[in-house]
Every structure is written in C-alpha cells, then in structure tokens.
Structure 1
Amino acid sequence: MSFLSKKKVPLSKIIPDNYVDIHSHLIPGIDDGVKTIYQSAYILEQFEKLGIKKVITTPHVMQQIWPNSSEVITNNLKKLHTVLPPLGISKIKLQASAEYMMDDLFYECLKKGDILPLHKNYILVEMSTFSPPLNLGEILFEIKVAGYIPILAHPERYTFYHQNDLKKYDELKQSGFLFQLNLLSVSGFYGDQVKTIANKLIDQNYIDFTGTDIHNYHHLGILEEGFPQKVAERITALMKNNTIFS
C-alpha cells in the first residue's frame, strides 16, 4: 500500500482538453529561460505530446536585468515561429505575453501602453522574492486605470507572505489580484514550505489559474513525472480554468 500511495499520475493523464499554459520562459536568450531556439523547440515538442494545445510564453520584463520591450519579445517570437514548422512542431499554438515585475519599468510601460496582455485585458505580474513593492497599492491602482486585470504569478513562492495564516493573501485577493499557481510548487520543487502554502491557497479556493513556469529541461522532467493521486485530482480542476485563454 505504501508503494501504491507514492505512485504518481503522469502530467499527460491530467491535462484537460484545450489546456493553455500561461506562464513559461521559452523565448531563447532574453531572460533566464531557455538559451537556444532548439531547447525551446524540444520543450514545445514535448508539450505537444503531453496534450497541451497552446502556450502563451511570458519572458521577464524587469528593470536593469531583463528590460524587454514588447517589440523585443514580439521580434524574438517571430524568429522562433520560423523554426518550429521545419522541425515538425505545428499542432501547438505559441503566443507571447510577459511576466512583468511590478517595478518602476513596469510603471513606465503602463504609462506608455507598452504592454503585451496574456489575453484580452489580463496581464501576468510578479513581485521580488525578497519583499513586496512599497507602492503596491499605487501600482494596482494604475493597472486598473489602464484597464487591465492583474494575475499574480506564483503567490505561493512569496515567503514574506507566509506568516499570519494567509492574512496577506486575503488582502491581495480582496484588492483585485487573481492568483496563478505554479504546477512545480505542488510537486515540491521549491521546497516543503512553498508546497504547504500552495495547498492552503488551493484549500481557500484562492487559485484562479495554473502555469508551468518552465525554464529548462530539468523543469520539464519534473513536470512530466506528474503528481500523487490526491494532488493530481485537486489541480486537474484548477487547470480547466485556463481554457478561457484558448
């Protein structure tokens, strides 16, 4: 029984029809994701085999480190598109948005209208892993004024919010953020503490969407292994929410 309880359900068995991955780093050379076009192509090929129908890849936009503009992202996406068909990768749809660090550069991008939405008026945003923005309320106000709905990437990974029994997460949800869970978090990849918070957020019905946040082959291997049966059942229902991006 102990052996059976540890058996994992492969990711290919739990991906719902028309699943759209809304968080990944598959445009080569412009952030900390894949380094070459062929690495990107290989991962997309495996995604096809897993049953993922569409990927909206989200390179970082972060001042001083990866200050990618919409033009840079779009031009590099076009280069990737030219390589995929000759390699036999034609079933999966590939689009690009961005994962916006809520910093001064993002504030400028909002003001200039230099934003690539995930879909309609949804945008993917993140915080530093060290601390939230001091002007978070102001940034959220500007997001709403610009007409966007913010989806907060991997809220379970912000360890500075892990105290006070999810009180800070309550405040974030009430202020207008939607939450995107990293599938790697419930696999335990980021550690037990993050895994515990991820499960608590699921218990609270706080998770709106899921994403792989895949950067490399190592992430791919862990995702392909899948999840324990109970975990698989919980996230399958959440993954169905992503079909709104199809």
Structure 2
Amino acid sequence: MLFLPKKEIPLRDFIPHNYIDIHSHILPGIDDGVKTIYEAAFLIEKFASLGIKKIITTPHIMQQVWPNTSEIITQKLSEIQALVNTLDIPSIEILAGAEYMLDDLFQQRLKNKDILPIANTYVLIEMSTFSAPLNLNELLFEIKLAGYTPLLAHPERYTFYNSIKEFEALKRQGVLFQMNLLSLSGYYGAKVKETAIKLMNAGFMDFTGSDIHNNHQFETLEKGFPSKLIKKLLPIMQRNRFFNR
C-alpha cells in the first residue's frame, strides 16, 4: 500500500485574524537577525502579506555578544518605522521590546530600570542552550519584584531540561512560555519539535512567536504544519491577540 505524506496547511490559511508576532529579529545590523534595511523591508512585506498588522520585534541583548542599549534599539526602530511609511504595503505597526539573555548585563539593567518590555508588562528572556543560570530563581524573583512578568522565549529549545516536571517548576514560579512556530516545523531538529509538542499537550505554552531572523526561516514557516498540529496550535496563537491592547 502506498502511504502519501501528510499534507501541510500553509500558514496563511490558518493564521488567526489580528495575530501579533511578539518575537523576531528584524531591526538591521544589531544582532544575528537581518543585516540591512532592505532585508528588513522585505521581511516586513512578507509579514504583511500574511495579514499581520502588528509586529513587536525583539533584538537580542547579550553581554559581550550583542550588548545593545535601549537607545540603539529605539533608534533602529525609528528608522524602520520611517521606512514602513514609505512602503506600498497594508498598514502595519512595528514596535520593539528586547530578548534578554539572563546574564550579568540583564541583572544590571533590571536594577537600573532600563528594560524594554513587551506591552509594558512582559519581559522576554532567554537562557543559554547548554544550561540554566545558577541564579535563575533569583533572577526570576527580581523580574517579578520589578513589576514584570517573565516570558521565556522558546522553552522547547532548552534541551538540558529532560522532563516535564522541570518545566512545571518554572510555571509554578510564574514564568510564561513563548513557543517558536519554527520549532513545530522541525527547523531546530526532531528533539526540539518533540519537546514543543509535549509542552503543548501539557498546556504549558502561553504564546507563540516567529523568532524570524532571515528569509530562509520565513520560507520554512510559510509552509505551515499538518492539520493535527494546527488544532492544538491555534488556541495558543489566538492568545497573541492579547497584545493588541
């Protein structure tokens, strides 16, 4: 018997109305995302072609690698906003937060109240893919003490967590989870995809993001997913409309 591969449903066919992308790297030349303003414009046009009206882009802030400042990010954002006004595309709003590595630089910026949150409340954080910081609990406490909610970027990619119980411990501490849509495509490998599905099934995923850095990733994302995955994914994607407030 011939078994045909399961057909993937393109992203444009199921993306929720008023979906807001809350994780991307489309401010040019300040991290490992797009390098030029032309690449940024191209990706913004592709976001708009999916019907997306609002993007909250999140450049990396990482000690000794991408030690961006609020001023650098704000300036780049202004340049992109000016560019969008000249493009012949449907109206799209570009805002910026940041994706903070949990390192000494982040801790210092938190103490200095120099944070670019998402929707004034959520701080997008990430960890090394090799291990969690030794002072993770302290950092999470400090984030909440400062009046923010920690939003962990792509928890499915932290393969040093070997069980659902370890993720559950983070949830108990009030950490929200943002899943990368690319994880479900297998872009980061089979183990990451498997973990993403497990966390979805456990009801742990709160929001989604594209985490787009370049056009190759966007083309992968556009292909979509099998309908079986979409049924579980859609309710999570729909929660992103919360950031439309």
What TM-score bracket applies, with the shorter chain setting the length?
over 0.9
1:5-44 deviation line (CA, Å, top 9, x unaligned):
5211010011111111000000000000001111111111
Q: Is the 8 A contact 1:84 1:90 kept in 2?
A: no
Distance in 1, Cα, partners of 2:69 & 2:108: 11
* Alignment partner of 1:211 is 2:197: no
SS state at 2:233 partner? helix
- What SS class does the counterpart of residue 179 from structure 2 fall into? strand
Q: Determine which of 166, 169, 174 is the counterpart of 1:168.
A: 166
Q: Is the 1:60–1:99 Cα contact (8 Å) retained in structure 2? A: yes
Structure 1 residue 106, shift from structure 2 partner? 0.4
Question: Corresponding residue for 2:10?
Answer: 10
State the partner residue of 2:231. 233
TM-score by length of 2: 0.97
Q: CA deviation at 1:90?
A: 4.7
Q: Map residues 72-151 of structure 1 onto 2, 5 A cutoff.
A: 72-151=72-151
Please state if 1:184 is matched with 2:182.
Answer: yes
One-letter code aligned to 2:89: I
CA contact (8 A) 1:20 1:56 kept: yes
Does the CA contact (< 8 Å) of 1:186 and 1:198 recur in 2? yes
Deviations 1:111-145 (A, max 9, x none): 11110110121110000111101000110111011
Instruction: Give the aligned partner of residue 59 of structure 2.
Output: 59
Which residue of structure 2 aligns with residue 30 of structure 1?
30
The gaps in structure 1 that reach 5 residues or longer are none
For 2:193 and 2:30, the matched residues in 1 are separated by 29
SS of residue paired to 2:86: helix
Supply the RMSD in Å over aligned alpha carbons.
1.1
Indicate the SS of the match to 2:165: helix
8 Å Cα contact 1:8-1:227 kept in structure 2: yes
| Equivalent position SS for 1:159 | coil
Query: CA offsets, 1:129-171, max 9 Å, x none?
Result: 111010001101110110000100000000100x2x3121011
List 4+ stretches of structure 1 deviating above 4 A: none
Q: Structure 2 regions of 5+ residues with no counterpart? A: none
* Deviation, structure 1 residue 87: 2.2
Distance 1:90 1:77 in 2: 19
Alpha-carbon separation, structure 1, partners of 2:179 and 2:130: 19
SS in 1 for 2:228: helix
Task: Choose between structure 1 and 2: higher helix proportion.
Answer: 1
Q: CA deviation at 1:85?
A: 2.1
Would you say the 8 A contact 1:41–1:89 is kept in 2?
Answer: no
How does the TM-score come out when normalised to structure 1? 0.96
Using the TM superposition, give the Cα deviation of residue 89 of structure 1 relative to its aligned residue in structure 2, in angstroms.
3.4
Secondary structure of the 2:76 match is: helix
Instruction: Quote the residue 2:156 is aligned against.
Output: 156
